[in-house]
């Protein structure tokens, strides 16, 4: 199974996360990247069967670079320990909700959906959508199919206080305090090596489509 090579490469990168090692193993990186690209292509093709907003996108449009772009002075590692993709309308950096998949060894591979760290304007739009359409929002986040694939449910970093424009007794304040709106589920390394892994990811992400559409209704039409 080619994905075993991908996992081994990422393990070795985690243990040798510096430019000299990467330069020495550049051929291995390109091989691992090609394996991940094939996986993304399979997942993306599956998503495009039911998500018209993703049609026309290629793996190149959705895959993130392995180089870190936001390192702090305390972070000596120049490379991410995973390979990831953000499958969203307009590509990986689009300011909208979408679908995500990352491969990282030792049980840190994951799939997810929603929107991570939206800017202030988009966060305001999502909160307004929840405030105006609370019943629809709760039906989506409590859907049995969503919880089957994402048992932890909707998650995200939260404000300590009510957001601007909302009071302590505002309905749904627990959810309005969220700063991001995501669902995620991890996979073991043995899961990644299964022949049906891509199909399992597609099935899981399809269960999150109603949530993604709700968020994008606020973000793209607000």
Each residue's pLDDT tens digit, 81-95:
999 999 999 999 999
Q: Can you give 112-174 as a three-state secondary structure string? A: EEEECCCCHHHHHHHHHHHHHCHHHHHHHHCCHHHHHHCCCCCECCECCCCCCCCCCCCCCHH
Query: pLDDT of 19-53, one tens digit each?
Result: 999 999 999 999 999 999 999 999 999 999 999 99
Q: Mind giving me the DSSP string for 44-107?
A: HHHHHTT-GGGTT--HHHHBPPSB-SS--TT----B-SSEEEEE-TT-TT-SS-EEEEEE-TTT
Query: pLDDT of 96-116, one tens digit each?
Result: 999 999 999 999 999 999 999
Instruction: Please determine, for residue 176, whether its predicted confidence score (pLDDT) is greater than 60.
Output: yes
Which domains does the chain carry?
A: 2-221 (3.30.930)
At 76, the pLDDT band (50, 70, 90 cuts) reads confident
Sign of CA dihedral 33, 3, 91, 18: negative
Which residues fall within 8 angstroms of residue 159, CB to CB, at 6 or more apart? 177, 178, 179
User: What phi, psi does 112 have (nearest 5°)?
Assistant: -160, 170
The arithmetic mean of pLDDT across residues 111-132, rounded, is 95
Instruction: Please determine, for residue 222, whether its predicted confidence score (pLDDT) is greater than 60.
Output: no
pTM listed for this prediction: 0.94
Range name among 59-68, 141-150, 163-172, 208-217 with the lowest pLDDT average: 163-172
């Amino acid at each position: 199974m080619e994905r075993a090579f991908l996992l081994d490469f990422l393990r070795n990168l985690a243990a040798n996360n510096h430019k000299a090692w990467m330069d020495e193993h550049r051929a291995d990186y390109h091989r691992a990247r090609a394996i991940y690209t094939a996986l993304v292509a399979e997942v993306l093709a599956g998503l495009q069967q039911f998500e018209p907003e993703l049609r026309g996108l290629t793996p190149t449009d959705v895959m993130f670079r392995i180089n870190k772009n936001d390192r702090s002075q305390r972070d000596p590692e120049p490379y991410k320990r995973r390979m990831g993709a953000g499958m969203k309308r307009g590509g990986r950096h689009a300011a909208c909700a979408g679908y995500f998949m990352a491969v990282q060894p030792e049980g840190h591979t994951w799939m997810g959906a929603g929107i991570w760290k939206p800017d202030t304007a988009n966060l305001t739009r999502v909160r307004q959508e929840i405030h105006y359409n609370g019943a629809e929002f709760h039906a989506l986040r409590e859907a049995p199919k969503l919880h089957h694939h994402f048992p932890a449910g909707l998650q995200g970093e939260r404000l300590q206080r009510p957001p601007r424009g909302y009071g302590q007794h505002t309905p749904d304040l627990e959810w309005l305090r969220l700063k991001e709106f995501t669902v995620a589920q991890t996979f073991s390394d043995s899961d990644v090596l299964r022949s049906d892994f891509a199909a399992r990811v597609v099935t899981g992400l399809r269960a999150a489509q109603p949530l993604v559409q709700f968020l994008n209704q606020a973000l793209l039409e607000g």
